Chains A and B, each alone.
Chain A
Amino acid sequence: MKRIQNIGLVIFLIGLSLFTGTIFTGSFHLSPSALDAFIMEKGYQNEIIKTELTKAFVKDDPLTIFEFSDRVRHAYEVANNHYDLLIAQYDDEKNWDKKGEQYQYKIYGKPHTLSFDLAKIAGKGYVKAHAGLMWMLTFGLGILGSLLFILPNLILLGKAGIKNDGIYLKASTNRGWIAWLVLIYLVSFYLLLYFMPDYVVNWTFIVDPISLFLNGGPASQWFVYGFLYCTIMVVMALRMYIKYRGNKYQVMRTTSVLFFQIVFAFLIPEIMTSLNMPGYDFKNAFPLDYDFFFDWNLDDLRNSGSIGLFILIWGIVLTLVIVPVMVYFFGKRWYCSWVCGCGGLAETLGDPYRQHSDKSLHAWKLERWLIHAILVFSLVMTLVTLYCYFTGSPSFLGIHSQWIKDSYSFLIGAWFAGVIGTGFYPIFGNRVWCRFGCPLAAYMGIVQRFKSRFRITTNGGQCISCGNCSTYCEQGIDVRAYAQKGENIVRSSCVGCGICSAVCPRGVLKLENGPEKGRINPTDILLGNNIDLIQLVNKREK
């Protein structure tokens, strides 16, 4: 069995290496006619870009993606520089009309995105020609290897129970060298995905056929990400099923997040796209879905007829009605650990790292400042965006709409939610984003804390302060601090994953929804002591 696992590990690493290695393959060449067609399609007024790009590809020698990217970005720079110089010149001459004219010639968007779009057309090579085979060698081997590694645990882990043996003794789960390597890989992955998508254009070739089948178009880097996300969740969900097979709450919860990720976050939007509708994730609630009220999305929805209108209304109702009502009845867990995609990845891929969340009081203070600040940030951004959208003004309250949207997308959307949120799993735990960053979690947390039926009940005086609950709380809640005082746990950050209850050796914790009265129960003397003493002290405290 152990041998099968080792073989699985080797196969997985081969798959991962091939997947990573594809980045360096292929050649990129663009014919003049293809370039013309591209520029036509984009509608560039810029006259320099065509010359510059033609110059870039004039030599017939095949380019690697890195050379290709360099040249495209150089052409982009030269082309825009030309007009920037003119702008500066007319500015000096105070020739405002001429200066204003120049802006239409500039090319907007990110250089790497332009390079990605061109590379998508220009790419050739083994990967693109043999997408099916390459899929087998990358995704296929990765999945096969993972399964060979995971499935033997059905026998190796023995009978159902708590399977945390050795977590703090292994380099992979105790912040050892393996954890750091995983961190470096994940962070690099996100940096490429968000900021240098052209470098990983070969990955899109691997899943082009799948994308074509699902939505009728070639794969973008986001399709790769979505597909990979689902694949990883499925594989790691199998691991969850095996690890927590004695715990029905965990099994059901894992099935639920998996369903919502695959069907709601992945399949439905892809199919909608193929039907010429806006691809929308019906469970992705604002303000986690921070660009829902961005002008391009509102335009898109308004131009999509009745389905667009439905999405617009659904999105608003989801945030304003469904989310708080559900949190009232079930706590924010209904979303965070049963539905949400970020939560879904955290609960599957991230499960081996849940113990790394910081339980200090200091971290709790930071959490409260940060997550509420980001909630405010997202709301201010949306307010500014909507004001500008309806009035046509470029700014509101002195805040430039484009600037605040770009800042949020970059700092919160890309860096916090992606690079740090997931990339840092192996060191800071699996819920960094959910705990410190997610504005939707902040909003639901406020409801959960002040108006909800959800709590984790502490079972009288049974707690022995062992600390398993706190250790395995992914949200960094010091569960033990409450349990050992006989107090129920009512915390805004609790996502109701149920692991504290699972790992408790004495049956002390139970997630439940009940009457609001008696939900918060400060006690000084625990149940089991002299009844007169309990009453005396608790009365005195009140």
Chain B
Amino acid sequence: MKHIVIIGNGISGVTAARHIRKNSKNQITLVSGEAPYFFSRTALMYVYMGHMEFKQTQPYENWFWAKNKINLKQGFVNRIDTDNNCIFFEDNTSISYDQLVIASGSKTNKFGWPGQDSKGVIGLYHKQDLEQLEQFAPNNQVCKHAIIVGGGLIGIELAEMLRSRNIPVTFLVREKSFWNDVLPDRESEMINKHIKEHHVDLRLSTQLREIKANTSGQVTSVIIEETGEEIFCDVVGLTAGVSPNIDFVKDSNIVTGRGIKVNRFLETNISNIYAIGDCAEQQEPMGERKAIEAVWYTGRMMGETLAQTICNHRTAYHPGHWFNSAKFFDIEYQTYGWVWAKPKENEARFYWGHKNGKMCIHLNYDKNTHEFIGINNFGIRMRHAFFDKVLTKKKSVSYVLAHLSDANFDPEFYKKYASEIVSKFNQENNTSIELKKKSWKRIFSEA
């Protein structure tokens, strides 16, 4: 029986712990300084918005851990002694391990802005960030104006949160359009409009120069880089991305880059130490994926994979087809396969948008072979299993269009747009693709 110590009780660490428990009788210790029990980080926004209570963000009841013999240890790790297989906590206590899994997640990016450590400057990642936000922005009396810096997924979520309490928000986005390094122009423009529709003062191509604070260190205003304009505010949300939370690893023998360097087996340079989730940095590229993927489900997949290795079934991390999802205020977004912001040399695109400006799909396929590469769908839900199969079998774009009814995942009675989409494609490309009726048989057929 080995003692497995896992640093971090987020989705990666918890998934690893659960799967190690399923497959072995190893002793498992799950370490976290942030919160005693696993919670869903992605749901923190709903707590502030009053959709949920914090305890409802915890996917497992508190008895779960003892029942599954997963020991919980609360505390921040500040040092790892790889020679003696030991981790040390801030209070100088220590635990020794046989195998160590680092799943310490991310921390908010700060780019050295003057005043970035003032009171009222917050990120949105940790449970403590939520507590800070409750303190500095409980309502629009205490927080008369808020600034958000950084136009990505966390930024727009923070905007939605603050707007739910009627706090005026100015949203500074460095790019010329929202999340434009990921979303193609038309999708990005659609979201720009939607952000404004929610009464957010969206400032594109705008950067932060400096954060000003009063004598007691409380934020009072920000200065815009381009114009020098000063905007008064009580809260500044820094949401310009996250980076691996690995300061406590830096002094150890573990090799790090931006994150903790791992091979395909999620192994670090030290034989009994592994890293998974947001904090892991792949040494060799994996297809089109980034070396560090701070995404919920990749953390989960790494946990699923590493558990096999730890339970004596050494398995390489080899994720399947890319997919993701998000929600921008009221507009849901899903993506399967790749749809780059800008088409690559060999790629052709097809775009259909609803006139309400809240729905669209964007298909990416190979110009020459017509092989389907990816889809962005906004305001329409699509079936993961369908696209996973299509990508595995390298189906053509016409196959995807003909089977859009199989792919649709909208609730019953929702208006279907498949035939409209197909006829638009036919018109633009001089094709005669016919939409097939939904077939359960096809949906359930093996990939």
Contact = CB atoms under 8 A, between A and B. Distances in A.
A530 B411 contact: no
Interface in A452-468: 457, 459-462, 464-468
Nearest to B43: A466
B414 A462 contact: no
A159 B199 CA distance: 12
Contacts of A77: none
A526 interface: yes
B415 A248 contact: yes
A461 B414 CA distance: 23
Nearest to B63: A361
A228 interface: no
A462 B440 contact: no
A249 B412 CA distance: 6
B185 interface: no
Contact of B57 (A166, A467, A531): A467
Contact of A530 (B47, B57, B320, B382): B320
B428 interface: no
A30 to B, nearest CB: 55
B59 interface: yes
Contacts of A421: none
Interface residues of B, number: 62
A501 B332 CA distance: 12
A466 B330 CA distance: 16
Contact of B52 (A252, A465, A471, A532): A471
Contacts of A528: 297, 301, 319-321, 323, 384, 388
B46 A461 contact: no
A418 to B, nearest CB: 29
A530 B381 contact: no
B50 interface: yes
B56 interface: yes
A530 B319 contact: yes
Contacts of A460: 323, 383-385, 388
B414 A484 contact: no
A160 interface: yes
B308 interface: yes
Contacts of A471: 51-52, 56
Interface string B305-349: 100100000011111110101110110101000000000000000
A162 B198 CA distance: 14
Interface string B191-213: 00000011000000000000000
A507 B377 CA distance: 11
A506 B297 CA distance: 12
A168 B412 contact: no
A507 B320 contact: no
> What size tier do the contact residues of chain A reach?
35 or more
Interface of chain A, main secondary structure: loop
Contact of B56 (A464, A470, A511): A470
Nearest to B315: A533
B304 interface: yes
Contacts of A464: 40, 42-43, 296-297, 325
A517 to B, nearest CB: 7
A360 to B, nearest CB: 6
Contacts of A533: 304-305, 308, 315, 318
Interface string A449-492: 00000000101111011111011000000001100100000000
A252 B388 CA distance: 32
Interface string A524-540: 11111111110001000
Interface in B1-43: 11, 19, 22, 40, 42-43
Given A528-B388, A530-B318, A462 B334 contact: yes
A462 B414 CA distance: 21
B329 A161 contact: yes
B51 A159 contact: no
Contacts of A111: none
Interface string A158-187: 111110111111100000000000000000
A484 B56 contact: no
A38 to B, nearest CB: 55
B297 A526 contact: yes
A504 to B, nearest CB: 9
B330 A162 contact: yes
A333 to B, nearest CB: 10
Interface in B417-447: 440-441, 443-444, 447
Contacts of B326: 506
Given A248-B413, A527-B388, A466 B297 contact: no
A468 B51 contact: yes
Contacts of A502: 411
B332 A505 contact: yes
A21 interface: no
Given A164-B50, A468-B51, A506-B327, A459 B297 contact: no
Contact of A465 (B11, B305, B382): B11
Given A159-B330, A505-B327, A515-B444, A498 B411 contact: yes
Contacts of A165: 49-51, 164
Contacts of A529: 301, 304-305, 319-320
Interface in A30-45: none
B40 to A, nearest CB: 4
Contacts of B304: 524-526, 529, 533, 537
Given A502-B411, A510-B381, A526-B297, A166 B50 contact: yes
Contacts of B83: none
B276 to A, nearest CB: 13
B409 A466 contact: no
B392 interface: yes
A537 B319 CA distance: 15
21 contacts: A159-B197, A166-B49, A167-B51, A168-B47, A168-B51, A249-B411, A249-B413, A249-B414, A252-B413, A462-B297, A464-B42, A464-B43, A465-B11, A506-B334, A526-B301, A527-B320, A528-B323, A529-B320, A530-B301, A530-B316, A530-B317
